[in-house]
Amino acid sequence: MARVVPPARPRKLAKVPFVELADGRLQGVVSSGSDIERVYVSSVAAGTYAFACSTNNNRPCGGARGWFCNHIRALITEAVLQYGAERVTRYLRVDLGDEQPTAHTIADAMTATGPSEASSTAAASVFSRFLRHLAYLELAPSTLPVPEMQWFPPTRAVA
């Protein structure tokens, strides 16, 4: 069972419904801005910052050719809200020098190293983890705690 940490700050789940620091990666699911049927599975590896972005139908993201796309940037932003900037910096092993850790400085420090594109083989496992989290939405009502539901903060955060 994965350890679930309460979000550092409430997140906008409509845009990035799933984000986690797991398997040596920042990884998650980002909604398409234009098509509600489509989501992107995005990831950045710790240490190398090798990145991948593809749709749930395993089509490569057009924006992620040689550079972090908007989905990966959104994922970093939401990870900072979920885990706090220091934790994201540590997990991804980002060297910020004297910069304050923010989503912006973390993304810039990683892109400055010229990271390569990773294979999208991780996408299937990331997406199945996301679907497992979604399955909890269909649980019968219960007063027992369901740890995974901490992904969904108690405050009104849905955009």
**Binding flag, residue 53, Zn ion (CB under 5 A):** yes
**Binding flag, residue 26, Zn ion (CB under 5 A):** no
Residue pair 88/20 in contact (Cβ under 8 Å)? The answer is: no
- Residue from 11, 71, 73, 129 touching Zn ion (CB under 5 A): that is 71
Q: Segment contacting Zn ion (CB under 5 A): 18-26, 40-48, 73-81, 145-153?
A: 40-48
Q: How far is the CB of 147 from Zn ion (least distance, A)?
A: 29
Report strand pairing: 51-55 vs 18-22. unpaired
Q: Which of residues 119-148 bind Zn ion (CB under 5 A)?
A: none
- Nearer Cβ to Zn ion (75/92): 75
Residue pair 41/54 in contact (Cβ under 8 Å)? The answer is: yes
Q: In degrees, to the nearest 5, what angle opens at C-alpha 152 toward C-alphas 148 and 156? A: 165
Q: How far is the CB of 86 from Zn ion (least distance, A)?
A: 26
**Binding flag, residue 61, Zn ion (CB under 5 A):** yes
Give 149: exposed, middle or buried? Use CB within 10 Å, 0-12, 13-18, 19+: middle
